[in-house]
Amino acid sequence: MELRHLRYFVAVAEELNFTRAADRLHTAQPSLSQQIRDLEDSVGTPLLYRSKRRVELTRAGEAFLKESRTILEQVDRAVMTARQTARTESGDLVIGFTPSAEIKVFPHILPVLRARLPEVHVILHSMTNPDLHDALWDREIDIAFLRRTELGEDFEIRPLLKEPLVAILPEDHVLAKQTVVDIKQFGQHPFIGISKEKAAELRARIQEYLDTQDVKLQTAQDAGNVLTALNLVAIGVGICILPDYVHALAVKGLTSRPIEGEPYIELCVAWRKANHSSVLAAFLKLLRTTMLETPEADHSNSNRLKVSATK
């Protein structure tokens, strides 16, 4: 019995269809069927009921599926741990981030890191918040700059910055004449929302603020990302609310205004508690000192929050 037999069996057990399982595994169906027969011969009992119309697990198959998943998860975890250890030994630091960090954090921390720790090889991955969550769990990255999310007790997650949420408007929009926008006036205009699938945390934070102000919006369209939202505003589809880092994107024909009540969203930093890499520890120390000492760009009034590298 080999690991591939377990992977094949799990795929069939989850799909309950040999054709779909074969497509998922990128293999031919006859080959998959033979692998399952070889596995059952090795185990010594049928794991699946097969008929022309359906596939079902036997009771033995149900028990075997549970244990197979556990074995595969342990193997995957062992592989990821080995890769993480190899990165540590080689001096690699893999950072996952949302666009906000690229604008508000990296210009301050990365030059300092390069100057003080030139031997550290930094690898950057821009991701959505859900992908950052998964990458931390899968040990594909060492540290993430992301919106607040539930990661579990195996992780440290600390607030780093409070980013003001601002109104994004066409330059000639009636609300652009105001120095500070009254959010209650948003309900009178078409609104560009943010996709729940791509940016659930930002969407939820905006909605939370709107609820406190008892404001209901006329959503014209949801945008999959910030750039799409900006472009939709630029062509007149609606107005939107975004973190103030979008100032740096400078889309022609747009302007922004502070919102009454000063709503904000947090940018957080997260890492796995069990990652005792000296490279990660050094980076967290630099992050703590640099972000506390370095002023933000003139356009931002973000408030810094302390990050501590507790282990």
| 86 confidence band (pLDDT: 50, 70, 90) | low
Residues 67, 95: one domain? no
Structure confidence at residue 152 (pLDDT): 82
Average pLDDT over residues 93-100: 92
Structure confidence at residue 195 (pLDDT): 86
- Does 309 reside within a domain? no
- Domain range for 80 is 3-85
Residues 116, 195: one domain? no
Higher-confidence residue of 34 and 306: namely 34
pTM of the complete model: 0.65
- Does 311 reside within a domain? no
Kindly report, residue by residue over 11-45, the tens digit of the pLDDT: 888 888 888 888 888 788 888 888 888 888 888 88
- Does 107 reside within a domain? yes
Average pLDDT over residues 258-266: 93
Residues 237, 287: one domain? no
- Alpha-carbon gap, residue 27 to 19, rounded angstroms: 10
- Alpha-carbon gap, residue 82 to 284, rounded angstroms: 22
- Does 216 reside within a domain? yes
Number of domains in the chain: 3
Asked whether residue 296 carries a pLDDT value surpassing 50, the answer given is no
Q: Residue 144's domain is classified under what CATH number? A: 3.40.190.10
Residues 170, 234: one domain? yes
Asked whether residue 308 carries a pLDDT value surpassing 50, the answer given is no
Kindly report, residue by residue over 126-176, the tens digit of the pLDDT: 998 888 988 998 888 999 999 988 888 889 999 999 999 999 999 999 999
Kindly report, residue by residue over 75-84, the tens digit of the pLDDT: 877 776 666 6
DSSP 209-235: HHHHTT---EEEEEESSHHHHHHHHHT
Mean per-residue pLDDT over the chain, rounded:
85
- Alpha-carbon gap, residue 289 to 306, rounded angstroms: 9
Residues 133, 14: one domain? no
DSSP 156-215: EEEEEEEEEEEEEEETT-GGGGSSSB-GGGGGGSEEEEE-TTT-HHHHHHHHHHHHHTT-
Residues 75, 112: one domain? no
- Alpha-carbon gap, residue 169 to 255, rounded angstroms: 5
